[in-house]
Structure 1
């Protein structure tokens, strides 16, 4: 996946985010399954609204996490997005 392409990821219609107050974490719900997200995973998915490119998502996360190493963050975001996209959770 090219991080600088024009693709603007967004959740697939079959998926949704929900905060689980018992587990105190964000869950990505989809048919017959759920994926517990850590803080970074939740932040990435929340930014996948169809309006931002991968580079813009990384920029937002870099700002949020105190100007974290952008190259490392880019790799993490691209890997995470590729994983959930392969499950059909992003379009």
Structure 2
């Protein structure tokens, strides 16, 4: 998938983001399973509401992670989104 792709990721209808107060972390819940997210993964998923492009998501994350190289951040975001997309958690 290229960064020119007009894809505007959002969680699949069968998935939802939820904070687990016991584990003190965000989870993606989907039928009969859950995926625990680290802080960066949760930040990415929160921005995937179907209105922002990948470039816009990376731009917003770049502001929060000022010391991060934008190209490296783009690769990390794309890898993460591809991983959860393959699992059917994004559309």
What TM-score do the two structures reach when normalised by structure 1?
0.97
Cα gap change, 1:6 to 1:15, in 2 (>3 Å)? same
Offset at 1:67? 4.8
Q: Does 1:40 align with 2:51?
A: no
- What residue ranges of structure 1 are gaps of 5+ in the alignment? none
Q: Deviations over 1:25-76 (max 9, x none)?
A: 0011001110000000000000000000001100000001125210100000
- What residue ranges of structure 2 are gaps of 5+ in the alignment? none
Q: Which runs of 4+ in 1 moved over 3 A?
A: none
Q: In 2, are the aligned partners of 1:16 and 1:30 still within 8 Å (CA)?
A: yes
3-state DSSP class of the match of 1:83?
A: helix
